[in-house]
Amino acid sequence: MNIVVDGRYQIIKRLGKGGFAHTYLAKNLTAPGKPQCVVKQLRPKVEHPRMLQLFKLEAAILARFKHSQIPQQVECFEHQGDFFMVQDFVAGDDLSKEFTIGHQWSEAKVVGFLREMLKVLGYVHQKQAIHRDIKPANIIRRWDDGQLCLIDFGAVQDLGGDSVTPNPVVGTPGYHPPEQLNGAANFSSDIYALGMTAIQFLTGQYPLHLPKNEAKEVIWRDLASISDRLATILEQMTRVDDIERYDSTTAVLVDLERLPIETDGDSQVRSPQFMDTESRDRQLTTSRIMAIAVLIGLGFISTATIVNRIPLVQNSVGASMVDR
């Protein structure tokens, strides 16, 4: 695509098309090294003055964020009657690409995912914002360090006193809770969506494909091999009645920390009781190899010491003979 917006941003390709905006991968021609960035163009399917307000609201909220796992907003401007917003580009793959129907994440991996995302989401809530569209496609695993990044704040709601009336019809079916459709989203609404995302990874099934009980809550427990303690946490995260749900990310993290699972250096969670046989065998084999290497090393050192001492003994004998 040979399109340059405002003489500064060269469009490379389109990344996505939503209900009221298109996003493009672009090059910033005026910045040193011409780094890649994301250009978001306001293109609503239905023209409405509130769409522009919401677009500007997203830019204003992103400008408040200074978090390494949330793309930074570069600028927002008008060009030839169209409105654009420029953000940092996150090089990575969104989690929808890690999902395959029938493939189930381990309990350890899901706990690691929850711990990391709850901290990012907690930051968003501290800034008095509700994301309102948490789902695998809006979470990117960055290539260079493996960290998870939260993207696409197009449905964001500001609780910090902004007068813009939020659009109640936002979110993605299967992930958003009932109160969100009524325009009454709160912090626990994001917690619900994150819980549904975790359930999707645990069961290997899309949320919309899961059956529901009389209370309209998804039935999933028999589809995942996890501990009762984690199941209890996820059930409270995804209660239909938001009064029964966790009211903060901190509360969820407190319960997760009580699980007997530790996080390793790859930001994934491992625990002896959840480690499969192959992993244990691999660890034992590695340990044996290291032990053998140490013994060989010690043997080599001992041999080298004996060899090095032989000339000294011979020299001592020679010296004694000369003295005689």
Catalytically active residues are 133
Q: Rounded to whole angstroms, how far apart are CA atoms 140 and 113?
A: 12
Q: 77: exposed, middle or buried (C-beta count within 10 Å: 0-12, 13-18, 19+)?
A: middle
Q: Residues 19, 117: contact at Cβ < 8 Å?
A: no
Question: What are the residue ranges of helices labelled H in 65-144?
Answer: 107-126
Angle 213-122-117 (CA atoms, 0-180°, nearest 5)? 65
- Bridge-based pairing of strands 21-28 and 139-142 is unpaired
Nearest one of 77, 57, 71 to 128, comparing CA atoms: 57
Strand, helix or coil at 9?
Answer: strand
Helices marked H in the chain — which ranges? 49-64, 107-126, 178-181, 187-203, 228-237, 249-257, 277-323
Q: Is residue 267 within 8 Å of 147, Cβ to Cβ? A: yes
Report H helices in 19-141. 49-64, 107-126
What single letter denotes the amino acid at residue 218? Answer: V
34 DSSP 8-state letter: -
CA-wise closest residue to 221 among 212, 210, 208, 231: 231
